[in-house]
Structure formats: C-alpha cells, structure tokens
Amino acid sequence: MNVRPLDLLATGVESYLPYLQGSGELHDPVFDEPTQYGTAYHMFSHAALSVLGPTERREFHLDHAVRGLDAALTHTGNPSLTPSAAGFSRATGAVRRSNHRDFTWPPILKTYRILAAAGADRTAEFAERIKAVDIEASFRSRPPSNWASVWLSGEWIRIREDLSPYTISDVDTWLGVFLDDLLRPEDGFYFEPGKPNSYDLFTRYHVADLLAEGYDGRFRGDLERLMVTGLDRSLAVQMSDGSLASAHRSAGQTWTVGAQIAFFTLAERYFSGLGPDVGGQPANTSNTSDPALTSNTARTVAAADGARRAFASMRRWQRADGPFSPVENLLPAGYRIGYEGYTADAHYGNLALAFLAAALLHGFTDTAPVTADRPPAVRVEHTPTYRGVAHSGPYSVAVNADPGPAYDGYGITDLTVGPGRFLQFASSVKHPETGTFVNLGMARRPTPGRTGLDIMAQRTLTLDEPLASLAPGPTTRGVRLRATAPEAEDQPAFAYELTVLAAPGGVSVVEATPGTIDHRTLLVPYLRDPGTGVHTTVEQRSDGIHLTYGDETVAVTVDAQIEAMIHLPFGFENRRGLCGLVRLDLDEPADRISYRISVVG
C-alpha cells in the first residue's frame, strides 16, 4: 500500500463531495444533515489542497474553501441557530443536538489565512465576520475542558491576525487554568476524567499548535516542557501499527492517527529548530518510552518516525467506494461498527483528514520508509491511569488495569504486530447482545468441559502494587501486574498476576492465580472482517491456532495440552470490525497459563 499523504488527503476529501451542499455545508452520508463540526474541517482540507494539491485542481478547492468558510462562519457566529446533530442512535437512527462550535475556530482561522494569502475575493468580508464573533456567546466550554483548548488555539491566531478583542494576557489567563488543573507538563499528560489517551493527544496537539503559531507568553516555558514530556508519552502509547493504545473513549477513531501525524510533525519541526536545552531540562528518563531521547536530534528523528508510523495506519482506512472512514475499519457507514454514540462520518472522518492537512502544511512527508522494528521500550503509569505499554521489534502490547467499563476490558487491550497489516489485536472485543468485553487472555472453569467461564477481562481487580516495568534482556521489555480479584458470585477472592514480554520474536504472556488451582481456558478474540472483502480464517494446531488474513498469518500457541477448541466466528465486534472468538480449553488443572503470539507469515 503505497498511497502518498497528499493523495490520501485529496481522495478522502473528494470522497465527501457527494454530500457537500451548494451552500458549502457538509451533510453526513448516513443522516443527511450537518453533524457537529464537519463543515469546518472539510473546508479546511479544501483550503490546504488549494495550496498543496495538483495545480489544475487548486481553483476548485479554493472555491470550496470559500463556500465552506461562509457556511462555517454563519453557524459559528450565530449561536441562536439550531446546533448540528451530535449524537446518533445505532438502534433507531435518532439524533440529538449539542453546541460544538468550539471546534470550528482553528479551521476557520487557518482557512481565512490561506484565503487571504491567495487574495480570495471575499477575504475582507470574512475578516469582518471573524472579528464580530463573540466567543463567550458562541463557544460552550471554558478551560480546562479539552474543547476550550481548541477554540483557544484558534483565538490565538485571531489575535495574531489583529481581529480579536483579546490579548496575549487573556491567553495567559486561559492557559493558567489548564496548567493549574488538568494539563501537567511534568507528566506529559492531559488528565481529562477517564484519562482517555485520545483526548490527552487531542489537547496536547492544540497546545503544541500555540507554540507553532508563535505563542511567547508567560507560560511558554511550561509549553516547551510539555513538548518534551508529551512527545515521550505519545511515542510510548503509539502501537507498532501506528494506532493509539486503547484507553477509554474515542480509541479506534481515525482522527487519533491523524492527530498523531499532526502532533509528531509539530514536534519534529520544534525539536529540529531549537538547541539542546529545549524545555529547560531533559525528559524524565525514569519512565520514558526510550531513554535515548535526551537530545533534540534523537527527538526529531523519533517524532518523524512516529508521524510516518501513524500515516501507515491512517492510509488503511480509505474506503474503496465510499467516504473516508471515521473509525478504524472499512465496513459501510450504516453498519455503525466501531462507532461511539457521538460518532458520524461527516465530522470525524473530516477531522481525521484535517489533521493530515495540517501536518502537510507543516511539511509532513513519508518519503522515508516505515520500519517494522521499534527499539525495545516500556512505559508504566501508576495512579491515576494504571496502564503499561511495551515495545520490541514489530510488537507492541498495552495493558490496562483500570478500564472504562463502557469501552474496554481488563488486561491486554491491544497487541499489534507491525505497520501495514490488518490482522492485529487492537481494542477489546464486545458481544453486543450481552454488552460484555473479551480480551486476549485467561478464563477459569470450575470443572472440566464446556462449562461457564470466569473471564479475567470482565473482572474488576484491585492492584496490590504499582505496575512494574520489566527488562529481562537487551531486546525484551514488559509489564507485570499483580492484583487481587474480590469475592464474586460465591467465589472466594484470589490473587492474580499478569506478565507480558515483548521481544523481536513475539509477545509472551503468563497469567496466574498463585495458590488457586482450577481448569483454565485461553480466549482468543480476533478480527474476522475489517470491511476489506477479506475474512480471517482459523486453523487449529496441536499447540494452538493460526489466524490467517490474506497473506498475513499470526500464531497463538499455548504451553499446555489442549482439551478442546470452540470457534464462534460470529456475534462479536470491536473498533476494527466484525470479530470472532476462539475458546481453547486446557486439559490439566493449573494455577497459570502461558501463551505466545507471533507473526509466521
């Protein structure tokens, strides 16, 4: 798959043209009405293509940018207008509405600057309309909400363009609220409730954009420090296929890979242009994704690698005969597989494309190859996230010890096997009928045979100690979790341990209940149908199974005699598509199970 970034942007943007109205307003392919902030981000992508796209198409894109800016400003500048659709029922198609104008401000300001530079006819009119917007009336959220970081980054541009009644002092006041509470430069993290990896990235990108746009106020040093620690965290939670490790909401949305491209591109530019004392001090290497990242040269290289890896993920999600997908699968939009209640194509598909457009305007390129192997690295986070991620070679594995019950199961939430592949274990698998999640991992049985299961991924466990970072060899990195499972349904409490080790040859896992012996089962939820037309097949082996998707094959092997295999190919799904489940019942009672995942084709 050799699609170039600019080609993907052009293809993705034009895939939405059938839903673009003459007014410049974008309708959703399923719900046939405007949704949230889709018009503004679609407009901005047209503006980027009017600068970067093929010469013969630039006037076309410029015209669409002008009409889109007209429509976006009409909606943003008049908060009395009915809000766009913002919630979508999978069961009935009903929509609910909410004011999401906060998100339109950066694309409006950035599009305006592109039109002004091009000498577009309505530039003066747009300037007056931008100047007239009352952000207190139009925008719903205030710092430290992640929404407010978006309009703040746009308002800084309005100040720079001399179109705002506010000053850098106001920006400092707003930033101070973020830094007093949820935005913490020493952690490299934005602590929104639920601690989603997605909105940590989202907020840090918009703060990084302030630096890129020349912010030099009272908190510049804090923002520079956040670039150091934030780059480190973003590299740590990027999986080997370029996706973002699952954690709470909005994981598996394609905007998260677009935002990674944009953030890493800003970081590459930032570290390539400053001296060795960026942020005043080196990153805290006691808990870093790569302890070697203590120089600007290393950070520049790592950021560029991260952007290319994210693009390798993003380019998988352009539907062959439909709009660019807002979720990390290619199933038709009407299926709603992988969609969350606030997700629809018009806004989230175009948000992903707009992040790519922003990166391209800042010089993103993927001319260097994406390497399959990553240096061995591990990051563990105790309170309040309770997560760990380990990398080595083409393998990454993420562990979540405090999952959001509506989003993920306990334990191994993601296990990826390198870029450019579809057959990954990425996000917990859900059974829609029961609402329960299943991860790759262990279940317990009270007796032999096909009895009911006590599934560890569906448990709520209490950590006995902080997650441990493991480095048992020069190229092996891992995470150890020790916890207690409380009494449940007449079952006594028991100790639980999970150890995952990533090495260049595969991921090894040991799950144990020290002191508690019973019958064990290995559950292997797998991606069966990502919407490409290719389905994964399952082959039973003496020591486990082979999963084969096209020319990709992954082996799951277990270090115990298998009593029976049950294959349920239907009735499951996750953020990547329609899924199946393999149940491997092991023969002899034990207090642990050992298994391994490796690429064999």
Q: Which letter does DSSP use for residue 80 in this model?
A: T
pLDDT value, residue 531: 98
> If you average pLDDT over residues 309-326, what whole number do you get?
97
pLDDT value, residue 290: 58
Q: Which of 361, 396, 429 is the last residue of a domain?
A: 361
Q: How confident is the model at residue 272 (pLDDT cuts 50, 70, 90)?
A: very high
Same domain, residue pair 272 and 403:
no
**CATH number assigned to the domain comprising residue 69:** 1.50.10.10
Percent above pLDDT 90 for the chain: 93
E strands of 334-423, at which residues? 374-381, 387-393, 395-400, 411-416
Q: How confident is the model at residue 287 (pLDDT cuts 50, 70, 90)?
A: very low
Report how many domains make up the chain.
2
583-594: burial string, b at 16+ Cβ within 10 Å, e else: bbbbeeebbbbb
Q: How confident is the model at residue 490 (pLDDT cuts 50, 70, 90)?
A: confident
Same domain, residue pair 541 and 583:
yes
The answer to whether residue 537 scores a pLDDT higher than 60 is yes
- What is the average pLDDT score of the chain? 95
HSE-up of 497 (CA within 13 Å, CB side)?
13
CA distances to 251, 513, 590 from 517, rounded to whole Å, are 36, 7, 5
The answer to whether residue 201 scores a pLDDT higher than 80 is yes
The answer to whether residue 154 scores a pLDDT higher than 80 is yes
Same domain, residue pair 213 and 317:
yes
Q: Which letter does DSSP use for residue 243 in this model?
A: P
pLDDT digits (tens, 9 = 90+) for 363-396: 999 888 898 899 999 999 999 999 999 999 999 9
The answer to whether residue 354 scores a pLDDT higher than 80 is yes
Q: Which letter does DSSP use for residue 186 in this model?
A: T
Residue 580, domain member (yes or no):
yes
Same domain, residue pair 347 and 401:
no
Q: Which of 361, 389, 420 is the last residue of a domain?
A: 361
Same domain, residue pair 311 and 432:
no
Same domain, residue pair 285 and 310:
yes
pLDDT digits (tens, 9 = 90+) for 551-600: 999 999 999 999 999 999 999 999 999 999 999 999 999 999 999 999 99
Residue 368, domain member (yes or no):
no
The answer to whether residue 540 scores a pLDDT higher than 90 is yes
Residue 124, domain member (yes or no):
yes
Angle between helices 197-212 and 254-272 (to 10 degrees): 40
Residue 221, domain member (yes or no):
yes
**CATH number assigned to the domain comprising residue 588:** 2.70.98
Task: Give the domain range for residue 453.
Answer: 374-599
Residue 366, domain member (yes or no):
no
Percent above pLDDT 70 for the chain: 97
Token digits for 319? 């539907």
- Residue 176's CB is within 10 A of a number of other CB atoms, namely 16
The answer to whether residue 289 scores a pLDDT higher than 60 is no
Residue 119: is it exposed, middle or buried by C-beta count within 10 angstroms (0-12/13-18/19+)? Answer: exposed
Helix, strand and coil in the chain, % to nearest 5: 35, 25, 40
pLDDT digits (tens, 9 = 90+) for 203-253: 999 999 999 999 999 999 999 999 999 999 999 999 999 999 999 999 999
Same domain, residue pair 227 and 137:
yes
pLDDT value, residue 281: 38
pLDDT value, residue 40: 98
Residue 367, domain member (yes or no):
no
Its pTM stands at 0.96
pLDDT value, residue 285: 34
Angle between helices 105-118 and 146-160 (to 10 degrees): 30
Same domain, residue pair 220 and 334:
yes
Residue 406, domain member (yes or no):
yes
The answer to whether residue 504 scores a pLDDT higher than 90 is yes
pLDDT digits (tens, 9 = 90+) for 78-93: 999 999 999 999 999 9
Same domain, residue pair 247 and 390:
no
> If you average pLDDT over residues 257-269, what whole number do you get?
98
Q: Which of 308, 339, 361 is the last residue of a domain?
A: 361
pLDDT value, residue 292: 64
Round to whole Å and give the CA distance between 378 and 373: 15
Same domain, residue pair 255 and 402:
no
Name residue 243's amino acid: S
pLDDT digits (tens, 9 = 90+) for 422-463: 999 999 999 999 999 999 999 999 999 999 999 999 999 999
Token digits for 504? 């260049």
Residue 369, domain member (yes or no):
no
Same domain, residue pair 137 and 51:
yes
CA distances to 425, 514, 519, 560, 563 from 585, rounded to whole Å, are 20, 19, 8, 10, 5
Give me the DSSP letters along 25-64: PBPPTTT-S-BTTHHHHHHHHHHHHHHHS-GGGHHHHHHH
pLDDT value, residue 1: 65
Same domain, residue pair 329 and 450:
no
pLDDT value, residue 277: 36
Q: Which H, E and C letters describe 87-121, residue by residue?
A: EECCCCCCEEECCCHHHHHHHHHHHHHHHHHHCCC
